[in-house]
Chains A and B, each alone.
Chain A
Amino acid sequence: MSDWTPSQHELDRRRLRRRLRTRSALIATAMTVVVFVVVGLVVTGSPGWPSVQALFFSWDDAREALPDIWDAIWLNIKMFLIAEAIILPLAMLIALARVSRSPWLAPLRVTAIVWTDVIRGIPTILLVYLLAFGVPALQLQGLPNSAYVWATVALIISYSAYVAEVFRSGIESVHPSQWASAQALGLTRGQTLRHVVVPQGVRRVVPPLLNDFVSLQKDTALASAAGVFEAVFVARDYGNYNFNYTPLVVVSCFFIVMTVPLARLCDWLTARMRRRELAGAL
């Protein structure tokens, strides 16, 4: 083992590979730098850039708007955390109702189908209007009057329909052989769903679930239609007074900061689940 030396052929091969690797790294670097420098130069060198910079990237305006945005962003965070916590179980129930087979559950099944069909067709902003302005206008005793509460409910209703379809696609993507094996083991349909199908189905749809969650985060801005003074509205309000869009850029930075770690967490979770599922088989 120790007296083996690579043949001349092998050495040549290695040298060639090394050269190719260096070359492709150089090309990749040069290409990236050139493209981004060209794009950057074209944007900053364009005649309108100073006015765009003053209106979108003004440091003074960013600093001035920051405290208000900081306060308001908690409203968004509370809204999407509460909403998501209700959306996930609700959507799962809707998905389960849709995949149910029992004739006794037919009314549930019909409700779930109509719910997803109709709700997804309604623009979310209309739901916000309808609930935040419509429900208080009913003047019913005991119902909250707050636009904030009803805007959150509108988001829950809207997103439950989307997320239910994501769950259903996950459940239906589980191979029929899994159903068959579970039944061969003597599991009932309910047990099969609970222990075999749903866990696998959910794992597969984590990335699209995250998609919807991120989308929900930003749709909390729709609550502004009903007068909820959340971060995006705070930014627009500042802009409307001072004729400057910079606070909107600040708000999007907040959203990016919230989204990126979440995306990495989800990647890590799916990778871990995949490792466990394969259990060292690959």
Chain B
Amino acid sequence: MRIRRALAAAAVLPLAVAVAACAPESDDSSSTASDPEGSSSTSASADACATDQLPLRTAGQLTVGTDSPAYEPWFVDNDPSNGKGFESAVAYAVADKLGFSADQVTWVKVPFNKSYAPGPKDFDFDINQISITPQRAEVVDFSDGYYSAAQAVIALKGSKGAEAASLDDLKSLRLGAQTGTTSLTAIRDIIQPETDPVVFEDTNGAKQALQNDQVDAILADLPTAFYISAVEIPKSVIVGQFQPETGEQEEFGMLFEKGSGLVDCVNQALAAMREDGSLDAIEKQWLSDTVGVPELQ
């Protein structure tokens, strides 16, 4: 009887112990990357952005996240660490401005829907064609925009979708786009088609559905659309492009943990790159010229 009771109590104990044991460790973990009242609020002086002063995940290393697969033309060969592709090049250029050599940059795979999970992040910043929106900025911090993308409509040559000449023409079509993208918002808010848009987990699904005649046209940002129509689906054509926001243009920003002290320093680096023309040069090198694609009204 006595032994049984002791056993029973012992059986409940781990429940409480397990919870208690794993809970109060955040004191040290929150101070590693997020530095709420440290360098970020006091205007980042040049000193705060000195390479050895940066609040990093791993000291001496800039840890950059992106999703896998990493699509062209943002990355090349699904290998962010080769410095090729627009976003890879931007990341290395920012790292350079912050004082890191190329081999001090480490890449981690960060699925898009994990990038905004609560708790400490396993990257210093995430660069993954993420549009800056006010709702998102409540949960994470963004850098200034490093690219503003127009939306493009892609359809198979000779199909119904390829004949569209205006946004109104798109209304009667079956449209598809990837979840969580500006493209999908553009379909819902601007085109407002008669049938609900088909939503895909990634661009690969959208491309396959386009070839299968499961959708008439898909939307993507213009550089992605160029790559799709030129390389991935040769039978396809860019029907046209449009700017989704009437007021402020949507921009891609790097994603940081909320309150990260790194944001100001990265913004300074981006500003410097904009001034000396290196950001433009990277864009010219990796993103195709957008001239020649008709504007859809």
Residues of A within 8 A of B (CB): 31, 35, 38-39, 42-43, 45-48, 51-52, 54-56, 133, 136-137, 145-147, 224-227, 229, 233, 236-237, 239-245
**Could you list 10 examples of A-B contacts with CB < 8 Å?**
A45-B23, A133-B205, A136-B214, A145-B213, A145-B214, A227-B176, A233-B201, A240-B180, A241-B180, A243-B138
The 9 closest A-B pairs by CB, nearest first: A240-B180, A243-B116, A136-B212, A47-B26, A243-B139, A51-B118, A237-B179, A242-B135, A42-B19
**Contact assessment for B199 and A229 in the assembled complex, using a CB-CB cutoff below 8 Å:** yes
What CA separation (Å) do A54 and B19 show in the bound complex? 21
Contact of A237 among B199, B206, B258 (CB under 8 A): B199
Measured between C-beta atoms, what is the minimum distance from A133 to chain B in Å?
5
Q: Which residue of B lies closest to A40 (CB)?
A: B19
Nearest A residue to B138 by beta-carbon distance?
A243
Are the C-beta atoms of A38 and B20 separated by less than 8 Å? yes
B196 shortest CB reach to chain A, Å: 7
Task: Provide the bound-state CA to CA distance between A55 and B116, in Å.
Answer: 9
> Hey, which chain B residues are within 8 Å of A38, CB to CB?
16, 19-20
Does A229 lie within 8 Å of B196, measured CB to CB? Answer: yes
Q: Taking the complex as formed, is B69 at the interface, i.e. its CB lies under 8 A from any CB of chain A?
A: no
Cβ of B246 under 8 Å from chain A? no
Q: Tell me which of A43, A47, A145, A233 contacts B179 (CB under 8 A).
A: A233
The B180-218 residues at the A interface (CB cut-off 8 A) are 180, 184-185, 196, 198-201, 205-206, 208-209, 211-214
- Compute how far the CA of A47 lies from the CA of B23 in the bound complex, rounded to whole angstroms: 8
Given the complex, which residues of A lie within 8 Å of B10, measured CB to CB?
none
* Residue from the list A35, A52, A133, A136 in contact with B12, Cβ < 8 A: A35
> A233: nearest residue on chain B (CB-CB)?
B199
Q: For window 18-77 of chain B, which residues contact chain A by CB distance below 8 Å?
A: 19-20, 23-24, 26-27, 30
Residues of A within 8 A of B184 (CB): 237
B297 within 8 A of A: no
Instruction: Check A146–B179 contact: CB distance below 8 A.
Output: no
Q: Residues of A contacting B211 with CB < 8 Å?
A: 137
Q: Is the CB of A47 within 8 A of B119?
A: no
Number of interface residues of B (CB under 8 A): 41
Q: Other than A55-B116, A145-B212, give 7 A-B pairs with Cβ distance below 8 A.
A: A42-B20, A47-B30, A52-B118, A137-B211, A227-B209, A233-B201, A245-B117
The reply to whether the CB of B15 lies closer than 8 angstroms to some CB of chain A is yes
Known: A51-B119, A227-B176, A229-B199. A35 touches B16 (CB 8 A): yes
* B201 x A224 contact (CB < 8 A): yes
Closest Cβ–Cβ distance, residue B245 to chain A (whole Å): 14
A146 and B118 within 8 A (CB):
no
Bound-state CA distance A205–B139 (Å) is 47
Do B208 and A133 have beta carbons less than 8 Å apart?
yes
Q: State the CA gap A243–B24 with chains docked (Å).
A: 25
- Give the CA-CA distance A54 to B211 in the complex, in Å: 41
Do the beta carbons of B212 and A47 come within 8 Å of each other?
no
Q: Are A240 and B19 in contact (CB under 8 A)?
A: no
Chain B residues within 8 Å of A224, by CB: 201
Among A133, A236, A237, A245, contact of B212 (Cβ-Cβ < 8 Å): A133
In the docked arrangement, what's the CA distance between A239 and B111, Å?
A: 13
Shortest C-beta distance, B201 to chain A (Å), equals: 6
CA distance A240 to B12 in the complex (A): 39
Partner of B139, one of A35, A46, A55, A145: A55
- Cβ contact within 8 Å between B213 and A42: no
Partner of A146, one of B12, B20, B214: B214
A224: nearest chain-B partner, CB-CB: B201
Complex interface: chain B residues within 8 A of A226 (CB): 205, 209
Given contacts A46-B26, A51-B119, A133-B209, contact A241 B16 (CB under 8 A): no
Contact between chains at B180 and A237 (CB < 8 Å): yes
The distance in angstroms between the C-alpha atoms of A241 and B133, with both chains bound, is 8
- Other-chain residue from A48, A146, A242 in contact with B119 (beta carbon distance below 8 A): A48
Separation of A45 and B26 alpha carbons in the complex (Å): 12
What is the CA–CA distance of A233 and B113 in the complex, to the nearest angstrom? 12
Check B136 against A242 for contact (C-beta < 8 Å): yes
B100: interface (CB < 8 Å): no
Q: Which residues of A contact B135 (CB under 8 A)?
A: 241-243
Q: In the complex, which residues of chain A have a beta carbon less than 8 angstroms from the beta carbon of B133?
A: 241
B147 close to A (CB within 8 Å): no
**B213 A35 Cβ-Cβ under 8 A:** no
Please give, as numbers and ranges, the residues of chain B lying within 8 Å of A133 by CB-CB distance: 205, 208-209, 212
Q: A48-B118, A229-B198 are in contact. Are A241 and B185 (CB under 8 A)?
A: yes
Residues of B within 8 A of A45 (CB): 23
B107 within 8 A of A: no
Chain A residues within an 8 Å CB radius of B113:
236, 239-240
CB distance from B42 to the nearest CB of A (A): 23
Do A35 and B26 have beta carbons less than 8 Å apart? no
